[in-house]
Amino acid sequence: MQVRKTDSGLEVWAPAKLNLFLEVLARRDDGFHEIETLMCPINLYDTLYFCPDPSGRVSLTCRWASAGEQGAPAWETLPEGTANTVVRACELLRRRAGVSQGARVELVKRIPTAAGLAGGSSDAAAALLAANQGWALNLSPLELAQAAAEVGSDVPFFLGRGPAMCRGRGERIEPVVGLGSLHFVVVKPPVGLSTADVYRACRPAERPQEAAPLVGALREGRMSELGRLMVNRLQPAAESLSDMIDKLKREFNRLDVVASQMSGSGTSYFGLCRNARHAHRARRQLAVRGVGKVYAVRSCI
């Protein structure tokens, strides 16, 4: 997450994420699932502009970036008002801090929605950071993390920097260092999936896999082992709901990538590449196959 001051307020770059590992351990009594996931931020960003407003009203305008930047998926409707995590995050901090200030917020979207890339969660984290600084609240990292967990399960992850293991329902964060710069090719197909539907269809693992072997292999550069160590327990459930996941799996199996799988609850699919040149070559190969929007990206450290 990158925050900088502007003449009128603050500008925040909110990254997407990929799940290099996602194990579903159990269903919880609160309706969520107990998970263990290795999440990695990537350099596909939404941009949030925050300007304090003494009127006391939080207003949001959102739009897709121009086609010249990352492509404008005009078929995807962006939520507004309290349906948007940005507004919910700002209003939550207002209530917690007891402030009367408002804000004018503009959100420029590049991260596809319903994709398993957590764009909405990243935007919410960006709003929390911007509101804390823009309203001079001086909330501690712990207080911000508590607010983030209330907004959404993936939101606390984006308050940090770099890859992290996330546990519980995703709110317990442990930074992971030493993975180096990772390069990926990512496809977002035209169809999306509901996170709730995918989790509802998922069966928790009877014999859960552990993320530690994957982390070790990434740190030591043992690339040949990554294909069997990367896991997404939600992928079979997503495959049962959309034939696009299996189609993407077949397309990635035709590529010379190190390993590939679905991200989050889908429908985005990604391949781990050997370097930036390899990722861009894979992007060109996939782009001509008409499988969706294709990105060559790298990890944020």
156 to 1, 29, 101, 206, 266: CA distances (angstroms): 12, 21, 24, 28, 20
Indicate the length of the chain as a whole number. Answer: 301
- Tell whether pTM > 0.85: yes
| CATH topology assigned to domain 183-298 | Alpha-Beta Plaits (3.30.70)
* β-sheet bridge partners, residue 233: none
Catalytic pick among 109, 123, 154, 188 = 154
In angstroms, the CA 203 to CA 205 distance is 6
Q: How many percent of the chain have pLDDT more than 70?
A: 96
- The 10 Å Cβ neighbour count of residue 207 is 4
- Our CA angle for 290, 181, 250, nearest 5°, is 30
Residue 154 annotated among the catalytic residues of the structure: yes
- Report pLDDT for 66: 67
Amino acid making up residue 97: A
- Report pLDDT for 27: 87
In angstroms, the CA 138 to CA 78 distance is 30
Residue 30 annotated among the catalytic residues of the structure: no
Q: May I ask the CATH architecture of the domain 2-174? A: 2-Layer Sandwich (3.30)
In the chain the first and final C-alpha atoms are separated, in Å, by 10
- DSSP code of residue 264: T
Domain boundaries, the chain: 2-174, 183-298
In angstroms, the CA 145 to CA 41 distance is 17
**pLDDT tens readout for residues 127-155:** 999 999 999 999 999 999 999 999 999 99
Catalytic pick among 5, 17, 246, 293 = 17
Q: How many percent of the chain have pLDDT more than 90?
A: 86
**pLDDT tens readout for residues 231-240:** 999 999 999 9
- Our CA angle for 54, 156, 101, nearest 5°, is 5
